[in-house]
Structure 1
Amino acid sequence: MRKTIAIIIPCRNEEENVPLIYRAVSDVFQTRQEQPLFWFINDGSTDATLAAIHQLQASDEAVHYIDFSRSFGKEAAMYAGLCNAKADLYTIMDADLQDPPEMLPKMIAGIEAGYDMVGAQRVDRTGEPKIRSFFSNLFYRIINRLSATQIVPGARDFRVMTPAVVAAILSLAERNRFSKGIFAWVGFRTQYIPYQNVARKHGESSWSFRSLFRYSIDGLIDFSEAPLTFVSWIGFASFIGAGIALLFIVIRALLFGDPTPGWPSMVSIFLMIGGLQLFALGIVGRYIGKIYLETKQRPLYIAREIK
């Protein structure tokens, strides 16, 4: 019996790319022993993505799909695919063909060589806006310095995993998911295969700079307590600085009398301290907000249809 590999493909407004990724992956497995099982997750698309998936399913019983009731995001789509697919191996791929299907045989070979997870690592960002590349590299430097969970720079969600790895990932039932961190946190024997950046085939990415920035902040908060420690040290430093300043003022008043008060400087100090307090409250508030969302125990996604 042929081994099966679940191809999990989150889709949001990818009507042109759906048939392309299907053909590209199918071509890779034509001469191989593995049987691909396609799982398209329609993440609230507003175009004809679902119709394109229906058309594929009508001609191939190996095509399955999950249709979300609305857009729940890529993280929820990946989780839904891993929850519902049953196979000997699992992989996650973007529908825009930026994850080269021709890498799959080499990744599967890594699994056969004894690795539990084989991922793709993008080693250059040719064609990507320089400002986005700069902040992406900066994010990896910051999170790997602050977090005990080390994330490989340029690592993609595109990877091949064994059922044991998938079971470990699904055992983390947290609502605030940052999969790059989760993949690293669960451990297992992992290999990364480098590759050059591939341009998107059709359409535009749904990831704006703002959404990527928010995603990176969520990743930092999910896998590091360093921001809270940073706030604590700011508070401690402010306390010591205020104590020294107070001692200086008292001694100066005893030796030279009380000088004319400096109202502008006093207002500036008040504004500075108030700004620090608001900054600290903002960081603490992000953590509290995460706790609040977790305690609600809302489902990660709601499916209108699963076939």
Structure 2
Amino acid sequence: MEKLALIVPVYNEQETIEYFIEEVNKKTAQLNLEKVFYFVNDGSHDQTLPLLKKLAAQNEQINYISFSRNFGKEAALLAGLRACTENYVAVMDVDLQDPPELLATMYEKIEEGYDTAGTRRISRKGEPLIISFFSHLFYKIINKISSTPIVEGARDFRLMTRPVVNSILKLEENNRFSKGIFTWVGYKTTYLEYPNHERSAGQTSWTFKQLVSYSLDGIISFSDAPLNFATLIGILSFFTSIFLSLFYFMKSLFFGDPVQGFPTLIILMLLLGGLQLLSLGIIGKYIAKIFLETKKRPHYLIQESNLKELD
């Protein structure tokens, strides 16, 4: 029987793990694939790791990888993808906001000839309005400025074939944005739609600040439009300064009283200074990412695992 690897990042999820395994097994009982769980503990501070150790000792189909600290979900996804060897690989959240019953339909799509069966939410019921608003805004912006289209509402929850996973693993950049990477590698992909699901237990570890930062990382990773914007600001500011210089020179020459335009001059100086700082900030953001890439630091550090090949 073919095997299905389930990559599940976890961070302080002691309340959800056992229920997650139970629900996945129950709702995929008819799926003609042997399930192998890969839990990646992203530096949890609760009893997540001891629980994973206990479950792995009881069931050989449950594996765990534990980081030395919190490296983020992107690092956890990468670690899971690197660790698994199965021909079919699914990425899921442990909070059951990704309905496991869709795995059967996703596998049907793979059998129909698709390389990837992804999912997207068609509603955000139960989510704070401000997060929904900025999420919608993010997708509109990135799809306007990026050559890599990202489906609005797309989740990391997807089922992939081994060639797709191997292609993803060839991308070794440190600044990872999986939603973009999944699209960038290509392959024949379809999306299943479903309404938003509430968490099964606990609370999300994502803050609004983290979501904004993650969105900015996505824009920087898959578009150079902000740099083009900074360049355009510089060009417009240059020509505006020349025009205003000529204007005030002619005004002083023919009408005198140059002091009269002093407030206007201050406003323009502040405006141009602000635009310069904005442009430098955009450029600095890209330089910071380049700096991190050149360090060649590992994406994560594994403290322990029950997978012998990772020891």
* Cα deviations by residue, 1:85-140 (Å, 9 ceiling, x for unpaired): 11010001001110000000000111110000000110100000111100000000
> Partner residue of 1:174?
173
Q: How do residues 46-65 of structure 1 correspond to structure 2 at under 5 angstroms?
A: 46-65=45-64
Q: 1:26 & 1:212 partners in 2: Cα distance? A: 31
SS at match of 1:262: helix
Q: How do residues 190-201 of structure 1 correspond to structure 2 at under 5 angstroms?
A: 190-201=189-200
Q: Kindly indicate whether the alpha-carbon contact (under 8 Å) linking 2:28 and 2:100 is maintained by their aligned counterparts in 1.
A: no
Q: How do residues 258-269 of structure 1 correspond to structure 2 at under 5 angstroms?
A: 258-269=257-268
Q: Kindly indicate whether the alpha-carbon contact (under 8 Å) linking 2:41 and 2:65 is maintained by their aligned counterparts in 1.
A: yes
Q: Structure 2: which amino acid aligns with 1:113?
A: E
> Partner residue of 1:130?
129
> Partner residue of 1:105?
104
Q: 1:158 & 1:29 partners in 2: Cα distance? A: 15
Query: Unmatched 5+ residue regions in structure 1?
Result: none
Q: 1:72 & 1:135 partners in 2: Cα distance? A: 24
1:84 pairs with 2:68: no
Q: Structure 2: which amino acid aligns with 1:33?
A: N
SS at match of 2:101: helix
Shift of 1:258: 4.5
Q: Structure 2: which amino acid aligns with 1:23?
A: E
Q: Structure 1: which amino acid aligns with 2:250?
A: I
Deviates more, 1:83-92 or 1:24-33: 24-33
Q: How do residues 12-31 of structure 1 correspond to structure 2 at under 5 angstroms?
A: 12-31=11-30
SS at match of 2:218: helix
Q: Kindly indicate whether the alpha-carbon contact (under 8 Å) linking 1:29 and 1:35 is maintained by their aligned counterparts in 2.
A: no
> Partner residue of 2:309?
none
Shift of 1:170: 0.5
Shift of 1:257: 3.0
> Partner residue of 2:9?
10
Q: Kindly indicate whether the alpha-carbon contact (under 8 Å) linking 1:143 and 1:220 is maintained by their aligned counterparts in 2.
A: yes
Structure 1 moving runs of 4+ over 6 Å: none
Q: Structure 2: which amino acid aligns with 1:68?
A: F
1:229 pairs with 2:235: no
Q: Kindly indicate whether the alpha-carbon contact (under 8 Å) linking 2:14 and 2:48 is maintained by their aligned counterparts in 1.
A: yes
Q: Structure 1: which amino acid aligns with 2:12?
A: N
Q: Kindly indicate whether the alpha-carbon contact (under 8 Å) linking 1:28 and 1:101 is maintained by their aligned counterparts in 2.
A: yes
Q: Kindly indicate whether the alpha-carbon contact (under 8 Å) linking 1:10 and 1:78 is maintained by their aligned counterparts in 2.
A: yes
> Partner residue of 1:248?
247
SS at match of 2:236: helix
> Partner residue of 2:142?
143
Query: Unmatched 5+ residue regions in structure 2?
Result: 307-311
Q: 2:286 & 2:51 partners in 1: Cα distance? A: 40
Q: 2:22 & 2:6 partners in 1: Cα distance? A: 12
Shift of 1:242: 1.1
1:153 pairs with 2:173: no
SS at match of 1:260: helix
Q: Structure 1: which amino acid aligns with 2:247?
A: F
Deviates more, 1:249-258 or 1:102-111: 249-258
* Cα deviations by residue, 1:122-172 (Å, 9 ceiling, x for unpaired): 010000011110000000000000000000000000000001000110000
Shift of 1:29: 3.5
> Partner residue of 2:163?
164
Q: Structure 1: which amino acid aligns with 2:268?
A: I
Q: Kindly indicate whether the alpha-carbon contact (under 8 Å) linking 2:28 and 2:103 is maintained by their aligned counterparts in 1.
A: no
SS at match of 1:244: helix
Q: 2:305 & 2:49 partners in 1: Cα distance? A: 12
Q: Kindly indicate whether the alpha-carbon contact (under 8 Å) linking 2:71 and 2:299 is maintained by their aligned counterparts in 1.
A: yes
Q: 1:266 & 1:114 partners in 2: Cα distance? A: 65
* Cα deviations by residue, 1:3-54 (Å, 9 ceiling, x for unpaired): 1000000000000100011111112333332000000000000001112212
Q: Kindly indicate whether the alpha-carbon contact (under 8 Å) linking 1:29 and 1:36 is maintained by their aligned counterparts in 2.
A: no
Q: Structure 1: which amino acid aligns with 2:72?
A: G
Alpha-carbon RMSD: 1.0
Q: Kindly indicate whether the alpha-carbon contact (under 8 Å) linking 1:8 and 1:92 is maintained by their aligned counterparts in 2.
A: yes
> Partner residue of 2:212?
213
Q: Kindly indicate whether the alpha-carbon contact (under 8 Å) linking 1:90 and 1:162 is maintained by their aligned counterparts in 2.
A: yes
Q: 2:253 & 2:262 partners in 1: Cα distance? A: 21
Q: Structure 2: which amino acid aligns with 1:67?
A: S
Q: Kindly indicate whether the alpha-carbon contact (under 8 Å) linking 2:117 and 2:189 is maintained by their aligned counterparts in 1.
A: yes
Q: 1:14 & 1:48 partners in 2: Cα distance? A: 8
